[in-house]
Structure 1
Amino acid sequence: MFNTQDYAQYVDMVVNYAAQYSFKIFGAIVIFIVGKWFAHKITLVSKKLMEKSKLDATLVEFSESIIYFVLMLAVIMASLNVLGVQTTSFVAVFGAIGLAVGLALQGSLANVGAAVLIMFFRPFKIGDTIEAGGAMGTVQDINLFSTTISPIDNRTIIIPNSKITGGNITNFSNKTERRLDLTVGIGYGDDLRLAKEILLEILNKEERISKDPAPFVGVTELGESSVNFAVRAWVKTEDYGDVRFAMLEEIKLTFDERGISIPYPQMDIHLNNKN
């Protein structure tokens, strides 16, 4: 039978536990909420200070994530301490778990190591146009595990950092000027001197092409079906694409007007009529 004395004993036990742990639980929750708020504010202040110092945007974003992670880890440990949990034992447990997770997530840890290399050696930064990891586009974001780039067609490509550092990285934005290289072929029956003169006229007429160093046109190959010219000129990096498209169009139109042919592959088929 459940008598009144036993009931009173259980009530006293619940009251004692509630009195003992409710304040700890409440304190832990308060510390977590307030600590998270402070961590967010401190991270924002640190980001603004780094931006005022004119640090690279890539380094600012990376440092911001690291600062917030470290502060939140400290907040969690403080909350556990208030609950009476021995955090020293948790450190050992986390160490064992970290080792197991590290072995299971070697690829992810490789991405973190690659992120550190990217931040340290700075092969590119946010806003640069690069070709790496099998993709080409403008760098939008760099985090601990991946780099996000956006190609010219406005897609989003997320590349693991280890794929980037494990191969060639081509940065198209770290130089103010870029050389435009075109190969233009003409027929063997066309006037070579006239074709060269036309190409130089087109290059010199384009205002976005640098005059120092001067544009260059020279015969680079006597091909199977065409005489090939190497056309080279220096342009500003941001004008490269537009100038390339404009030059190809202008060369074709001008050659048509001046009677210069541009050969294309052809196949002659001979049929033998057997009676």
Structure 2
Amino acid sequence: MTSPNAPSYHLWGWTIPAALVVVQATTPAPEVGPGELIEYWPVVIRIGWFLAGLLAVVILNRLFIQPVFARILRRRNHNNPTLQNALLRYFQVVVIVIAVFVGASIAGYGPALGDSALLISAIALAIGVAAQEVIGSLVSGIALVLDPDFNVGDYIQWPNGEGVVQSIALRTTRVETKDGELVTIPNTILTSNEISRPFGRGNHRIVQQFGIAYENEIDDAIGHFEDVAASIDAVLADPVPVVYVDELGDEVTVRIHYWIEDPGRQDVLATRSEYARRIKHRFENEGITISPISELEITGRIGIDDSGRPR
């Protein structure tokens, strides 16, 4: 309790005991110096090691790994720059994640990462279950990119259709069908089904069948088949066209094999059409009957009534 005679100060109409003023005036201010900073030095060291590890991985990737990876992508997918950029972007994200883990391990946070491995695994499992279809398509897209026999511009056939590959993305592949439609196919369908590539694999063999009448000389007809094939510029001279007698039925079925060089689907259709037109014209000039009309023997009786009309 303050004595009535204790000294005091008057400030703006307020009376303040001198003892309070003395106490507040003598309270020492906190000092900040090198001694206090030393306590934070281990944290600074760990941050430095973390940044050093992270930058080392990033620089190594930028100078050596990423240029090699980019060259491989351009060589494998030179017709698909969209896919090149997407894969490079995903690759950079993976590198950053690896750099963070490397930096944390060098900084001494490896045990902490190990203790949280169960949590990280649980999160990864939850994400995988929720996005398994998307992840499956991404994995399938990477598999298609790495397949040297699957490229933009290839003509492919799969169980539900056929067409020319226009673009390969990480989740889907776009194919232009023979009717001109652009179809988007999930990559999982292409990797889980049988795909054939009938064209674009070097020399392509074309097989056509024709029927000729029995009264025609078969050897002469075979000679005309071979000569017409040799007269077409697109047909290769080596291997030479070969003609086979395939079947004896209502007519003599003849099958001819000839080869053209590295065609597309339109090239095959054009060559088949050219050969059919030329062989028709040649046989008409030579008097050889192609696919004669089959003769049918009809048995039965026809009766005529009183009016003279058949019944």
Q: Are 1:128 and 1:172, in contact at CA under 8 Å, matched by a contact in 2?
A: no
**What is the correspondence of 1:1-275 to structure 2 with a 5 Å cutoff?**
50=70, 55-57=75-77, 61-69=82-90, 99-100=125-126, 102-222=128-248, 224-238=249-263, 239-263=267-291, 266=294, 268=296, 269-273=298-302
Which residue of the partner structure matches residue 23 of structure 1? none
Report the CA distance between 1:51 and its aligned residue.
Answer: 6.1
- Residues 53, 123 of structure 1: CA spacing in aligned structure 2 closer, same or farther, 3 A cutoff? closer
Cα RMSD of the aligned pairs, angstroms, is 3.6
Letter aligned with residue 230 of structure 2: N
Q: Are 1:172 and 1:237, in contact at CA under 8 Å, matched by a contact in 2?
A: no
- Residue aligned with 1:188, SS: coil
* Per-residue CA distance 1:182-218 (angstroms, 9 max, x = gap): 1121122222112111111101111221111111112
The structure that has the greater radius of gyration is 2
Q: Are 1:51 and 1:57, in contact at CA under 8 Å, matched by a contact in 2?
A: no
Q: Are 2:164 and 2:177, in contact at CA under 8 Å, matched by a contact in 1?
A: yes
Report the CA distance between 1:176 and its aligned residue.
Answer: 2.6
* Per-residue CA distance 1:132-176 (angstroms, 9 max, x = gap): 242222111111222111134432011221221222222244423
Report the CA distance between 1:264 and its aligned residue.
Answer: 6.0
Comparing 202-211 and 130-139, the one that deviates more: 130-139
Report the CA distance between 1:234 and its aligned residue.
Answer: 1.2
- Residues 65, 258 of structure 1: CA spacing in aligned structure 2 closer, same or farther, 3 A cutoff? same
- Residue aligned with 2:75, SS: coil
Letter aligned with residue 62 of structure 1: L
Q: Distance in 1 between matches of 2:184 and 2:157?
A: 13
Identity across matched positions, percent: 22
- Residue aligned with 1:263, SS: coil
Letter aligned with residue 230 of structure 1: R
* Per-residue CA distance 1:100-131 (angstroms, 9 max, x = gap): 45335444333222222222232310111221
Letter aligned with residue 259 of structure 2: W
TM-score (norm. length: structure 1): 0.65
Q: Are 1:129 and 1:173, in contact at CA under 8 Å, matched by a contact in 2?
A: yes
For structure 2, which runs of at least 5 residues remain unmatched after alignment? 1-61, 98-112, 304-310
* Per-residue CA distance 1:220-257 (angstroms, 9 max, x = gap): 222x2121112111111234332111011212222222
Q: Are 1:50 and 1:60, in contact at CA under 8 Å, matched by a contact in 2?
A: no
Which residue of the partner structure matches residue 47 of structure 2? none
Q: Are 2:250 and 2:294, in contact at CA under 8 Å, matched by a contact in 1?
A: no
Report the CA distance between 1:61 and its aligned residue.
Answer: 4.3
